[in-house]
Copies of this chain bind each other. A is one copy, B any other.
Amino acid sequence: MVEVSYVEEGSVGIVKTQSLTFAHPPNEMILESGRRLGPITLAYETYGKLNQDKSNAILIFHALSGDAHVAGRHHKTDPKLGWWDNMVGPGKTFDTDRYCVICVNVIGGCKGSTGPSSINPKTGRPYALSLPMVTIKDMVRAQKHLIDHLGIYELLAVVGGSMAGMQALQWSVTYSDRAALCIPIAAAARQSPQNIAFHEAGRRAIMSDPNWRNGNYYGKNQPIDGLAVARMIGHITYLSNETLRRRFGRRLQESTRLSFSLKPEFQVESYIHHKGETFTKRFDANSYLYISKAIDYFDISDGYSSVREALRATKSKFLVISFTSDWLYPPTESEELVNELRAVDKEVVYYEFPSTYGHDAFLVEGEKMTHAISYYLAHAKDKGRLESHQSGNEPLS
């Protein structure tokens, strides 16, 4: 265990996950499916101080396997920093000396918010598949309860990468005047069929695992083989061929000679096995089914005649970010979003950052995004168009 000082330089220090429970029966939330869910608990963390007029709050969403713990540590000897600690903290991109940063978990997950592994208060047993399916819109509607609870009307920004970018977009559409700036990173206006297909192969792996037992595996063996395969597939799609070539190439694990067996021999094989195994220790298989499905359902145009019409009413400004080597949510899909935003005269700036890290760039290329994000956060509420604030120091398309 690493002993850390109470306040590390540039760190938010020790933080605690909080939770909010609402939608108590008979006032359950009505989900997009028409089914009811309640009570609903949301896990969240906050960093920095909300100012007097509550105008400095930034809401950060998380991706498929993330949680509300975006920065800092949970206790003094906690060896693990929050998942975006490089971006959130005093003096950092999301500067907690200036902004109040909120990170909120999703419903359907397994990180403190209501999900399939939560106890259904009506039965005293885990929901399992009796939990209704949730959508990105449902996640965002639940999250708005938290923002209302905190007494915040307009967020300075809604931000996120991957599925979190979908939540940011959905927030700006559903709550058109409640975010000054929307920052979708490595995301898209709708989930592509290729991504749906990869998710479905993973779901099939989970649901074929005999330990899955139609979702009723709590207290028994977890469907770890199926979940590991799903994560292995997912993990490959988060990286780039170039990253894999550079990190592993065709190098063997143990010796310089092939074993000519069915055992993993190449380093890249043991790497994805490791990623699959560790994931099964920190994630619930049913949550993987629910959240991957929510992502697949995502199409910002749902309920509208087109993406453009969905975006027409929002008052948010947009900072859209993509990365060149991201083939899961490729720059072309961000460009489509940007074009639709511009078609309805939204204020939007778009950055396509060069990166070799694939989709994971949104987690690791913090430095590249810093200037743009901090600049536009500072100017989010300025009069006049975002474009006129461009500093000229960054690549822009």
> A264-299 toward B: CB 8 Å interface, digit per residue (1/0)?
101011011100100000000000010001001101
In the complex, chain B residues whose CB is within 8 Å of the CB of A35: 260
Among B194, B258, B268, contact of A197 (Cβ-Cβ < 8 Å) = B268
Q: In the bound complex, do residue B208 and residue A299 qualify as a contact, i.e. CB atoms below 8 Å apart? A: no
Instruction: Indicate whether A193 reaches chain B with its CB closer than 8 angstroms.
Output: yes
Shortest beta-carbon distance, A372 to chain B, in Å? 27
Between-chain CB contacts (< 8 Å), 20 pairs:
A32-B260, A33-B258, A132-B260, A192-B244, A192-B245, A193-B268, A196-B266, A196-B269, A197-B268, A197-B269, A197-B271, A200-B268, A200-B273, A204-B225, A204-B232, A204-B276, A205-B229, A208-B229, A258-B297, A327-B327
In the complex, chain B residues whose CB is within 8 Å of the CB of A203: 262
Among B207, B208, B236, B241, contact of A209 (Cβ-Cβ < 8 Å) = B208
Q: In the bound complex, do residue A197 and residue B232 qualify as a contact, i.e. CB atoms below 8 Å apart? A: yes
Q: Contacts A193-B245, A193-B268, A241-B194: A229 and B232 contacting too (C-beta < 8 A)?
A: no
> A53-93 toward B: CB 8 Å interface, digit per residue (1/0)?
00000000000000000000000000000000000000000
Q: How far is the CA of A289 from the CA of B190 in the complex (A)?
A: 35
Shortest beta-carbon distance, A244 to chain B, in Å? 4
Q: How far is the CA of A248 from the CA of B192 in the complex (A)?
A: 10
Instruction: Indicate whether A198 reaches chain B with its CB closer than 8 angstroms.
Output: yes
Q: How far is the CA of A36 from the CA of B109 in the complex (A)?
A: 52
Among B200, B229, B327, contact of A204 (Cβ-Cβ < 8 Å) = B229
Instruction: Indicate whether A40 reaches chain B with its CB closer than 8 angstroms.
Output: no
Number of copies: 2
Instruction: Indicate whether A233 reaches chain B with its CB closer than 8 angstroms.
Output: yes
Instruction: Indicate whether A152 reaches chain B with its CB closer than 8 angstroms.
Output: no
In the complex, chain B residues whose CB is within 8 Å of the CB of A276: 204
Instruction: Indicate whether A147 reaches chain B with its CB closer than 8 angstroms.
Output: no
User: Interface range on chain A: under 10, 10 to 19, 20 to 34, or 35 or more?
Assistant: 35 or more
Q: How far is the CA of A297 from the CA of B332 in the complex (A)?
A: 34
Q: In the bound complex, do residue A272 and residue B133 qualify as a contact, i.e. CB atoms below 8 Å apart? A: no
In the complex, chain B residues whose CB is within 8 Å of the CB of A261: 133
Q: Contacts A208-B226, A260-B32, A296-B266: A250 and B190 contacting too (C-beta < 8 A)?
A: yes
Q: In the bound complex, do residue A272 and residue B241 qualify as a contact, i.e. CB atoms below 8 Å apart? A: no
In the complex, chain B residues whose CB is within 8 Å of the CB of A132: 260
In the complex, chain B residues whose CB is within 8 Å of the CB of A241: 192-194, 327, 330
